[in-house]
Structure 1
């Protein structure tokens, strides 16, 4: 089976990690995964395309100028034909809409994964409304969590089209990774607390930084790192200066050595206000890191409170700071939580399980499309002759 993935990427984040993990595993079991990555004129964000090339995963760029570019429709149509795709799998509202416009009259079944979405401004809200209308015409729509499934149902997507597939990761890169951040601290023994995510309001990076300021009052040698890029970087840099914690906080931007970054952390924090099923948390758990996370979205299904990490209320600086201090003072608990986290990921969130689930989705989509096509071309029933 050949699957063509289409995405307008904002950088190397959760959806991109899913595509790489899925493509890698599909190719290893004799299927074929091909990528079509938008090259947006304003923000190209070609990291996924470059990462795929390094792993010898076939990837093609789709030039896109501005928010609306009619040439993209022709590019997707041509790419689908050239790659002889059995299924086209779109990721994200922009990819959904363009893929539908390109292939709505094609016999190729369309699948979409709704990783999550945020209606944080008018333009994104309008795109989101158009996306949900388009999704009703796809053969199958994958939700990564129950919360996303509920939003799809409220948007009018038929329940029989929705499939729940939890994210999975390739565990191999996180085995025996060497810490890479020790050199960033004055002392190799200073504990590092980290947050990995897009620098945007929904990720709660500001909450993390305010909690860091409180922790430093009690444990001044602690170091904090934020890994990721995003639109709020300037605001967050200003907040660091306002809190007077510049010497203890590093904004590391995008990193290409994430297994080594996770291996450097004493604790990993997710302070999100909104989430789906975050890949960063799964990667931290695969790295045996204890997780402190806000109980939003599907996070409570992977961070089991008191077993694989600790769950906290969102928007609560004091609770997060207190949990960080208590966990830093208890190395044995750090180790036990981290070991349990790794075990859970091995059992339930490996890429192999995710890939099998997606193959079932693709097979169902092909079958559904074939039945729909056969019905469309079936001859009309003839009228019986009058006696």
Structure 2
């Protein structure tokens, strides 16, 4: 786990463990002070805290010593395979995994448009398998040997039974200060520069001119790591400048995401770049349509007019128009939400996901695997 915060990468990795834990022995390597570490521990997964090595050729001696410490912990864990949650983990700890004698597989969850630095390139060349979360991420990857070693494995979620708990929904609305009957537009994403909250803010200003009763519910970390905390302050300042701050509700990082999605009429995802956002699958599984930026792997799941809409990158007017169309046609939003859930249930099941992940592991260690994540 190469980062300290909790976002899509961390949540997706927790779900990977949940899907495969009956066949694989997992050990979670989390950075010192990582917010995600307790989530592994709560699942009964052995958790090891580590100090992330800093790759450097100029200071190779220091990097080597740092890597030796991680390698020692990997050997103690009995790791046959080290699965890096993102390529940053492969870059920083790939050498340590080599020293430990473990096989190496890396997820690639975002699209990286530029070729890695040559020192990182040297380490990434040693990764034996890459798991891309979308075809777009694979096709546009500059990772050395990435396409030759590539598997595209879509993330997965479970479609829950319809939730008709009106009392819980009413209580959540009350707790969040959302008036009864107000349209709720949701966005499930950490408050981070990648997610392009300024475009959402400008779109919201246009929506509120016609539907001033609308509320925008944001579910995602806004304070646990420095970059998110700083961006939240910037977004808050913009909302106040636009005069719409009172129409936004920032719930922060929450464990009860599903009930929160339940009170949304539909969701948006204004974002600069994505591999294959898990939040879209979660939202669609909850029978909600999604309006999202046409970037990365998003067009691989959203079928415009059927289960949501795609809008051009950074286009606040287009985003506002689509938001208003679903607010003004609730029956259409409901119908698209049902189609969204049907698609998730058919094509993105946890069982199929687990089979594909295990197949990658077995291709590296045919005799059986005892895996450290």
Q: Compute the TM-score of the two structures, normalised by the length of structure 1.
A: 0.83
Unaligned runs of 5+ residues in structure 2 are 57-61, 223-227, 368-373
Matched residues, number? 352
- Is residue 342 from structure 1 mapped to residue 341 from structure 2 by the alignment? yes
Task: Name whichever of 215-224 and 350-359 sits farther off.
Answer: 350-359
Cα distance per residue 1:327-374 (max 9 Å; x no partner): 011111111111111111111112222111111111112259xxxxxx
The structure-2 alpha-carbon separation of the partners of 1:21 and 1:212, relative to structure 1 and needing over 3 Å to count, comes to: same
Contact (CA 8 Å) 2:53, 2:92: kept in 1 or not? no
User: Which residue of 2 is the match for residue 207 of structure 1?
Assistant: 199
Q: Compute the TM-score of the two structures, normalised by the length of structure 2.
A: 0.86
Q: Quote the Cα distance in structure 2 between the aligned partners of 1:206 and 1:10.
A: 25
Contact (CA 8 Å) 1:266, 1:334: kept in 2 or not? yes
- Is residue 196 from structure 1 mapped to residue 188 from structure 2 by the alignment? yes
Q: Quote the Cα distance in structure 2 between the aligned partners of 1:104 and 1:173.
A: 45
User: Which residue of 2 is the match for residue 3 of structure 1?
Assistant: none
The SS at the match of 2:26 is strand
* 1:257-276 → structure 2 map (5 Å cutoff): 257-276=256-275
User: Which residue of 2 is the match for residue 322 of structure 1?
Assistant: 321
Contact (CA 8 Å) 2:187, 2:267: kept in 1 or not? yes
The structure-2 alpha-carbon separation of the partners of 1:293 and 1:158, relative to structure 1 and needing over 3 Å to count, comes to: closer
The structure-2 alpha-carbon separation of the partners of 1:301 and 1:170, relative to structure 1 and needing over 3 Å to count, comes to: same
Displacement of 1:129 = 5.4
Q: Quote the Cα distance in structure 1 between the aligned partners of 2:180 and 2:105.
A: 48
Q: Quote the Cα distance in structure 2 between the aligned partners of 1:243 and 1:202.
A: 21
1:137 equivalent among 107, 126, 133: 126
Q: Quote the Cα distance in structure 1 between the aligned partners of 2:121 and 2:348.
A: 27
Q: Quote the Cα distance in structure 2 between the aligned partners of 1:168 and 1:333.
A: 25
Displacement of 1:144 = 1.1
Q: Quote the Cα distance in structure 1 between the aligned partners of 2:270 and 2:348.
A: 21
User: Which residue of 2 is the match for residue 156 of structure 1?
Assistant: 144
Q: Quote the Cα distance in structure 1 between the aligned partners of 2:161 and 2:35.
A: 18
Contact (CA 8 Å) 1:290, 1:334: kept in 2 or not? yes
The structure-2 alpha-carbon separation of the partners of 1:300 and 1:92, relative to structure 1 and needing over 3 Å to count, comes to: same
User: Which residue of 2 is the match for residue 223 of structure 1?
Assistant: 215
- Is residue 49 from structure 1 mapped to residue 37 from structure 2 by the alignment? yes
Contact (CA 8 Å) 1:114, 1:141: kept in 2 or not? yes
Displacement of 1:181 = 3.7
Displacement of 1:173 = 9.6
Contact (CA 8 Å) 1:174, 1:259: kept in 2 or not? no
User: Which residue of 2 is the match for residue 18 of structure 1?
Assistant: 12
Greater RCO (CA < 8 Å, at least 6 residues apart)? 2
Q: Quote the Cα distance in structure 2 between the aligned partners of 1:367 and 1:136.
A: 22
* 1:1-387 → structure 2 map (5 Å cutoff): 7-27=1-21, 29-39=22-32, 44=33, 46-64=34-52, 70=63, 72-117=66-111, 130-152=119-141, 154-157=142-145, 159-171=147-159, 178-179=168-169, 181-183=172-174, 184-228=176-220, 229=222, 230=228, 231-367=230-366
Q: Quote the Cα distance in structure 1 between the aligned partners of 2:153 and 2:315.
A: 30
Q: Quote the Cα distance in structure 2 between the aligned partners of 1:253 and 1:160.
A: 40
The structure-2 alpha-carbon separation of the partners of 1:309 and 1:208, relative to structure 1 and needing over 3 Å to count, comes to: same
Displacement of 1:182 = 0.5
Contact (CA 8 Å) 1:174, 1:286: kept in 2 or not? no
The SS at the match of 1:94 is helix
Contact (CA 8 Å) 2:55, 2:92: kept in 1 or not? no
Q: Quote the Cα distance in structure 2 between the aligned partners of 1:176 and 1:57.
A: 33
Q: Quote the Cα distance in structure 1 between the aligned partners of 2:316 and 2:348.
A: 30
**Alignment RMSD:** 2.7
The SS at the match of 1:8 is coil
